[in-house]
Amino acid sequence: MLGSVVATPPSLTWFRVIDISEREKRWKLSREEKQLGGSVHRRTEGGQVHHALLNLHRIEHPHTGECIARCIGETLEARGIGEDKVLLIVTDNGSNIVKAVRLLRDRSQKQSKESPDGSRAQPGGAGDGLDELWVESESEETDEEEIGETGNLELNLPDDGENSKFQRMPCLAHTLQLTLKDAIKHPNADVLISRARKLVHAVRKSSVANEAIIKKCGKTLVRDCSTRWNSTLDMLRRLLEIRTELNQVLEELGMDTLLTSDWAKIENLVKLLDPFAIHTDQLQGDSQSLSHVVPCLLNLEAHLLTTTAAGKQLAQVLLKSLRERFAAILSPDSPHFDATPAAACLLDPSVSLILQTPDMVPLRRAAQSLVETLAAQYNPATAPQDVTATQNAVDSPPTVLQKYRFLASRMEVNVSLTNQPDGTDSLLTEMKKYVDDIKQSVFNETPLQFWRSKEAVYPKLAPVALDLVSAPASQAFVERIFSVCGLLSSGLRNRTTTSLEQRVFLKINKKLLID
């Protein structure tokens, strides 16, 4: 019964896009034991998108890449998920999980090369053959492998141009938070945040001050936490929100408050960081967030470029970090470039116009090339053809870009791919028709609803689009699994047992099991 959610072997019409998210968690009470959670993201034939918990594993020391790779492989095999059904693996940036995915990919490529007819081998399970591969790999059983965090988007794509199996994508919401940490380490921001943190600590420590603030405004100050996304911003927001009541209480109790200049700096810092919090929440959605990665990053870039002099120095630090960490998504010249987020953006009618500008030509072409490759895999009889695209500008302001206001204010929009051959390639014809449609229409439906209603109009493009626009961009779902695990174990999370694993599985997948 525990395998009923995904135990049926996936087919091309059911599990075309599967997103596996892994997350190893370090519990405070035990360094020798960790838990590895794996979830699957699937789109059903009815067009609905679901996340399901695959397994919650207890991993003993050492927590190396080899150990995690074995665990992932066994999970995929147990659930009947072949490697040809895995488009992306979304993980955090720990070096051991990065190595685990690399081992899975190397094993897959090795089996493909050893196939007699040169075609991709179809092994019995994703975990088969890993022991032989691990013997050839170097030993990395140090603590650095467990806790290391690369922080950048190294996708390690194959050199032969093949659409690699077990392609890794870092959790983009997590990577965006690493960009914020780079900025917070800047001396100007670090000193200001330290002062704010000391004030919050002093007020929260005083029961008299804390109670007085609650009586005045019904709220209290918020502490930040290094492991909670946007918590520093939440702390600063709350300081500004109850600034008047806070200063009154501090004056009554004879306690020091912040300088007027510090309050002004906090206001500027909150304005600078607010869009990052908004887009972090947007990217950590359980589904349909991959297509918003490129718009979010470009919008943040435009926001930082238009920042006023008050926060210019910190904005430049943020901009530099943003461009470096996300070069693999925004820059086709990057050695680790992956066109998957750009392809999802291209096929999302609500944001596709963002790629129709002159400065987006390289990214758009890379996205279209990936779409053609995926369409050829979905329809083996149709091979992609090389096309040289030209651009023509048209005049109609987009209404779908209003939530990306920083980006919309600086871009010349609605430049479309035109003059493509209307010849025999039906996929290119569908792509041209789709681009023309998004220029002229206003969409009041979700991307999934749009493509479900257009499957007859775009028979080759729709299957690819449905998979890409439904995919998630983060592994936040697995983070929530461990929150549930903590509740069920009453705080004894380092004592995870088989019983607890089954209880978590049933609780997370309750809706799917009932349906």
Model confidence over 185-223: pLDDT tens digits? 899 899 999 999 999 999 999 999 999 999 999 999 999
- Which residue range is the domain that position 267 belongs to? 178-279
* pLDDT: which is higher, 78 or 453: 453
Instruction: Calculate mean pLDDT across residues 316-324.
Output: 93
- Please give the pLDDT value at position 480: 61
Cβ contacts of 68 within 8 Å, gap of 6 or more: 22, 24, 36, 59, 96, 97, 99, 100
Final residue before a domain boundary, out of 469, 487, 502: 469
Task: Tell whether 329 and 411 lie within a shared domain.
Answer: yes
Instruction: Calculate mean pLDDT across residues 80-100.
Output: 80
- Please give the pLDDT value at position 497: 56
Q: Is residue 10 part of a domain?
A: no
- Please give the pLDDT value at position 201: 95
Please tell me which of 160-169, 331-340, 463-472 the model is most confident about, judged by mean pLDDT: 331-340
Distance (Å) of CA 494 to CA 58, 62, 93, 169, 480: 9, 16, 22, 28, 17
Supply angle C-alpha 119, 165, 99, rounded to 5.
Answer: 130
Q: Which two tokens stand for residue 290?
A: 């991959």
Strands of 163-315, DSSP E: 168-170
Which of these, 78, 84, 81, lies nearest to 120 by C-alpha position?
84
Which of these, 432, 428, 431, lies nearest to 418 by C-alpha position?
432
Q: Is residue 33 part of a domain?
A: yes
Our measurement of the distance from residue 465's CA atom to the centroid of its chain's CA atoms, rounded to an integer in Å, reads 18
Instruction: Calculate mean pLDDT across residues 96-115.
Output: 83
Kindly tell me if the per-residue pLDDT of 387 is higher than 80. no
Task: Tell whether 38 and 158 lie within a shared domain.
Answer: yes
Q: Is residue 5 part of a domain?
A: no
Supply angle C-alpha 90, 96, 101, rounded to 5.
Answer: 45
Final residue before a domain boundary, out of 244, 279, 314: 279
* pLDDT: which is higher, 20 or 226: 226
Kindly tell me if the per-residue pLDDT of 70 is higher than 60. yes
Task: Tell whether 369 and 429 lie within a shared domain.
Answer: yes
Task: Tell whether 328 and 214 lie within a shared domain.
Answer: no
Pair 59, 33: CB distance under 8 Å: yes
Q: Is residue 207 part of a domain?
A: yes
- Please give the pLDDT value at position 13: 25
Task: Tell whether 142 and 257 lie within a shared domain.
Answer: no
Q: Is residue 14 part of a domain?
A: no
Kindly tell me if the per-residue pLDDT of 313 is higher than 50. yes
How far is 404 from 395, CA to CA, in rounded Å?
19
Confidence of residue 391 (pLDDT cuts 50, 70, 90): very low
How far is 98 from 89, CA to CA, in rounded Å?
10
pTM of the model: 0.74
Task: Tell whether 356 and 382 lie within a shared domain.
Answer: yes
- Please give the pLDDT value at position 363: 94
- Please give the pLDDT value at position 513: 63
Final residue before a domain boundary, out of 255, 279, 303: 279
- Please give the pLDDT value at position 30: 34
- Please give the pLDDT value at position 115: 64
Confidence of residue 421 (pLDDT cuts 50, 70, 90): very low
Task: Tell whether 449 and 307 lie within a shared domain.
Answer: yes
Q: Is residue 506 part of a domain?
A: yes
Task: Tell whether 137 and 249 lie within a shared domain.
Answer: no
How far is 356 from 364, CA to CA, in rounded Å?
7
- Please give the pLDDT value at position 59: 72
Task: Tell whether 366 and 492 lie within a shared domain.
Answer: no
Q: Which two tokens stand for residue 174?
A: 């997590």
Task: Tell whether 193 and 301 lie within a shared domain.
Answer: no
DSSP class of residue 94?
B
Q: Is residue 3 part of a domain?
A: no
Kindly tell me if the per-residue pLDDT of 384 is higher than 60. no
Which of these, 92, 306, 99, lies nearest to 178 by C-alpha position?
92
In the three-class reduction of DSSP (H, G, I as helix; E, B as strand; rest coil), residue 215 is classed as helix
- Please give the pLDDT value at position 84: 74
Instruction: Write out pLDDT tens, residues 359-383.
Output: 999 999 999 999 998 888 877 654 4
Task: Tell whether 237 and 334 lie within a shared domain.
Answer: no
* pLDDT: which is higher, 339 or 123: 339
Which of these, 312, 304, 255, lies nearest to 275 by C-alpha position?
304
Task: Tell whether 337 and 244 lie within a shared domain.
Answer: no
Instruction: Calculate mean pLDDT across residues 29-38.
Output: 46
Q: Which of 48-62, 244-258, 311-325, 386-400 has the lowest mean pLDDT?
A: 386-400
Kindly tell me if the per-residue pLDDT of 104 is higher than 50. yes
Instruction: Calculate mean pLDDT across residues 50-54.
Output: 68
Q: Is residue 2 part of a domain?
A: no
Percent of residues, the chain, with pLDDT higher than 70: 63
- Please, what is the end-to-end C-alpha distance for the chain in angstroms? 14
DSSP class of residue 149?
B
Supply angle C-alpha 55, 60, 61, rounded to 5.
Answer: 140
Number of domains in the chain: 3
